[in-house]
Chain A
Amino acid sequence: DVKVTQSSRYLVKRTGEKVFLECVQDMDHENMFWYRQDPGLGLRLIYFSYDVKMKEKGDIPEGYSVSREKKERFSLILESASTNQTSMYLCASSLDSGGAGFTDTQYFGPGTRLTVL
């Protein structure tokens, strides 16, 4: 079974702090994703990566950056946390079956509930 782990289930930070959210997958997947989930808004894609050191902006990248130095690890960085970044953050990974775009199933981690005070 694919396992996607996230560094924390719950995190409380103060406005202006730099926040790192870590995600690790153990199935050698090429693609990794970061979403935030808010009530009434569903899941929104922040960034994704299709290879080491490669990244693409999703729908809501403002205020976030990402890092992928190793294939199994994808980090989401909040450079200066703000209260409107209080949310549930979900990481996902998928295999790249090649030639089909990003059509493969995404496997999600348990999520990190971040509160910014």
Chain B
Amino acid sequence: GQQVMQIPQYQHVQEGEDFTTYCNSSTTLSNIQWYKQRPGGHPVFLIQLVKSGEVKKQKRLTFQFGEAKKNSSLHITATQTTDVGTYFCAGWTSGTYKYIFGTGTRLKVLA
């Protein structure tokens, strides 16, 4: 079936280091959305990318949507302890209108 895999599954970084999570879909996506879920919390929307090759920035976070609209990445520069949580990508598949969440990347930032 249609899948959206994220790598890595877990990442531990020292505070101040950079972090990147990659999202790979088995099918073309009409858009991609990124969410952050703090421990014990619920997913909170971060950003949406729609265009092929689109890049968006939010302070220390940089989001990219691949040219083929099948992959995406989230890069955090100089991580802080407040970045701790699980980051999910999600998107609507083109044509079939299935909304699929990625498997998530759990980030732990060590002070």
Contacts and interface: CB of A to CB of B under 8 A. Distances in A.
Q: Chain A interface: which size bin?
A: 20 to 34
Interface in A89-117: 90, 101-103, 105-111
Contacts of A42: 88, 101-104
Interface in B19-74: 30-31, 33, 41-45, 48, 50
A48 interface: yes
Contacts, number: 53
Contacts of B43: 43, 90, 106, 108
Contacts of A107: 45
Given A41-B103, A102-B97, A108 B42 contact: yes
A105 B45 contact: yes
Q: Chain B interface: which size bin?
A: 20 to 34
Contacts of A41: 103
Query: In this complex, which of B1, B31, B101 has the most chain A Cβ atoms within 10 angstroms of its Cβ?
Result: B101
A59 interface: yes
Nearest to B41: A110
Contacts of B97: 101-102
A106 B104 contact: no
Contacts of A109: 42
Query: In this complex, which of B1, B44, B45, B97 has the most chain A Cβ atoms within 10 angstroms of its Cβ?
Result: B45
Nearest to A111: B42
A21 B97 CA distance: 25
Interface in A33-51: 33, 35, 40-45, 48
Interface of A: 33, 35, 40-45, 48, 58-59, 90, 101-103, 105-111
Q: Which 4 A-B pairs have the closest CB atoms?
A: A43-B101, A108-B42, A42-B103, A105-B45
Given A105-B33, A106-B90, 6 more contacts: A35-B101, A42-B88, A45-B98, A45-B100, A45-B101, A59-B98
Interface of B: 1, 9, 30-31, 33, 41-45, 48, 50, 88, 90, 92, 97-104
